[in-house]
Chains A and B, each alone.
Chain A
Amino acid sequence: MSGHPTDNIPDAELFSRLAGPKDTAEAAFAELYARYGGRVFAYCLRFLGHRDEAQDVYQETFIRFFESARQSREMTNVPGYLLKIARNLCLNCRRNKKQTVEFEDYQSRVPPPSVEKNEFLELITTALDMLPDEYREVFVLREYEGLSYAEIAEIVDASLSSVKVRIFRAKQKIRDILAPYIEEFSEK
């Protein structure tokens, strides 16, 4: 079975094509979107914990990514760059949110209904919401995005040792919250 013509093209090459003619740019963008759209959305959703906000940031991330790429910059780590844009927008979103949170119903932060979702996963996402931002984002980058400590350190602009500590504490905190359930669900 033959794949899509852009399937085997490296990220850096696709990124450079974004500055080209419309047809070329469109094909390159569609391929990069297919490769990293899910990961970027996972980061936005699990970091913000609110689907509507996550969707807004997600859209803005890709639009800014494309606009940036049109300036003919080189890029060797496209997913890292995308996540960095998403992170900055998420932090902006959180800052704006904090200014108005007292006027909003806490319940508005909940994700949309998903009765089919795994119960244990629901508990994890609830526990994630209880973590401080700096712990939540490194947990998401590590567990959802599968990034190395060094890659995470680069994205969050922190030292490697700081990232290690944050990841460790985030995981321990989530484990402590979920302790009563882990045995029950892990047996299923």
Chain B
Amino acid sequence: MSNHQEYMDSKMLHAFMDGELGGPQEEALFHKLSADPALRSEMQDHLAIRKAVQHDIEAFTPPASATAAIFTSLGFTIPSNTATAAGAGSSFLRGLWIGSAASVLAVATAIILFFQFSTTGDAPAEIIERVVRTPADPVFIEQPAPLADLPTAPARHASAAVTEAATPFDAEFTVRAVTPRDITLLASAIDETAPPAQVRTDQVRFYDLLPAPDGVTLYARNVALRSDPAPTVVSQSEPWFRNVNLGVLYAIDEHHAIGFEGGREPFSQNFHGIEHGVGVRYEQNPLAYWATAVYQFSGDPLLPHVHPFFQIQAGGALELGALGRATLGLEFRPFDRIAVLVGAEGSLLLYRFQTNWFSSNKLGMTYGLSYEF
């Protein structure tokens, strides 16, 4: 059959499928269809495309926000059936809200931690006093000046204040040189009847120097998750720390905590598209770094030392896409600060190829340890 004849047959087929073919031509087309498998195949292809288009629900669903904008701008009441559409859309918005909230929580955590660390490091009054009281010769402070009279400066100028205060040293204190005495004599001078609370015993412990404010918990956990789609190729490398997650949480109160978590794990991907006019399908299992903001809710104890917890995370996997995780588990706290975690975890990776979005899901177990400062 000539190309021109095929072309004419195809045109006739299209006209028939679009309801534009006359009766006599229909007869001719039916005859050709019965005899030409290629023409039948072409018809089936176009029917498949038409069927898919008719199910393009997204295209036929105007956004509720657009409907609201139109009716509002015309001064009309927004139709009540828009509420349904808005409700459907709001699940997506809720998803966005969770992500946004997690981001806000993450930023808030960073700010809180920053100020916690800053406060721990500043201690301006203590530093000034200590430096001032370190002259070359041993001295004994007989009558310290009232705090209000000390030559202090705002915290941010602490170093300048130290310089000024150290030079005119004798102008601020009544001092006299003393001969160093045996420590037992000094000890005997202590009033043994004084309440113990006045004796500080924790001034030189090394971990006081660490920036670890109360309420901060560090944790490490392993995840054993099953992927959907299942990986059909192996990852490009097998480092020891794959599937190991490290995180930090800051407790807002007894039940709520926020923080960060990161790790490295493989994400099985199965996606398709069109390149150079040809459909292509990719299957890969890249090992990627990821990081998320974390919100954790910790419930009241179910058993002694056993707390349930629920954790949601939102963030991204490097060079792949948006990542969400959720964990439901138990925390066993046999000691004061150390806890063992075990739970069920799911994750969802959303990624885009060309104009389409795809997802990879994981579901499985997680277990680990945490240390609370």
A contact residues vs B (CB 8 Å cutoff) = 22, 26, 29-30, 33-34, 37-42, 45-46, 49, 51, 55, 58-59, 62-63, 66, 107, 109-111, 113-115, 117-127, 129-130, 142-144, 148-149, 164, 167-168, 171-172, 174-182, 185-186
Contact assessment for B15 and A121 in the assembled complex, using a CB-CB cutoff below 8 Å: no
Query: Which of A39, A175, A185 interacts with B42 by CB under 8 Å?
Result: A175
A121–B49 Cα gap in the complex (Å)?
Answer: 8
Chain B residues with Cβ below 8 Å from A119 are: 272
Is B52's CB within 8 Å of the partner chain A? yes
Question: Can you give 5 A-B contacts (C-beta < 8 A)?
Answer: A29-B74, A49-B355, A121-B56, A123-B273, A185-B48
Chain A residues, Cβ within 8 Å of B56: 42, 46, 121, 124-125, 144
On chain A, the residues within 8 Å of B55 by CB distance are 118, 121
Q: Name B61's closest neighbour in chain A (CB-CB).
A: A38
Q: Does B237 contact A (CB under 8 A)?
A: no
| In the complex, residue of chain B having the shortest beta-carbon distance to the beta carbon of A113 | B357
Give A15 Cβ to nearest chain B Cβ, in Å. 15
Min distance, Cβ A153 to any Cβ of chain B, angstroms: 12
- A123 to chain B: closest CB distance in Å? 7
With A113-B350, A182-B45 as given contacts, are A34 and B81 in contact (CB-CB < 8 Å)?
A: yes
The chain B residue sitting closest to A26, CB to CB, is B76
Q: What is the CB-to-nearest-CB distance from B221 to chain A, in angstroms, rounded to a whole number?
A: 27
In whole angstroms, how far apart are the Cα atoms of A180 and B356 in the complex? 18
Q: For the complex, would chain A's binding face be called helix, strand, loop or mixed by DSSP majority?
A: helix
By the criterion CB–CB under 8 Å, are B70 and A182 in contact? Answer: no
Cα distance A24–B46 when bound, in Å?
Answer: 44
Distance in angstroms between the alpha carbons of A77 and B183 in the assembled complex: 106
B66 at the binding interface (Cβ < 8 Å): yes
- Where chain B touches its partner, the secondary structure class is mixed
Total contacts A-B at CB 8 Å? 151
Contact B355 A110 (CB under 8 A): yes
B52 touches which of A59, A111, A118, A180 (Cβ 8 Å) = A118
Question: Contacts A26-B76, A59-B70, A115-B350; is A175 near B46 (CB within 8 Å)?
Answer: yes
Closest to B73 in A: A63
The 6 A-B pairs of least Cβ separation, nearest first, read A113-B357, A42-B59, A38-B60, A41-B62, A186-B48, A180-B279
| B10 CB within 8 Å of chain A | yes
CB distance from B274 to the nearest CB of A (A): 5
Please state if B53 and A121 are interface contacts (CB–CB under 8 Å): yes
Q: Does B239 sit at the interface, judged by CB under 8 A? A: no
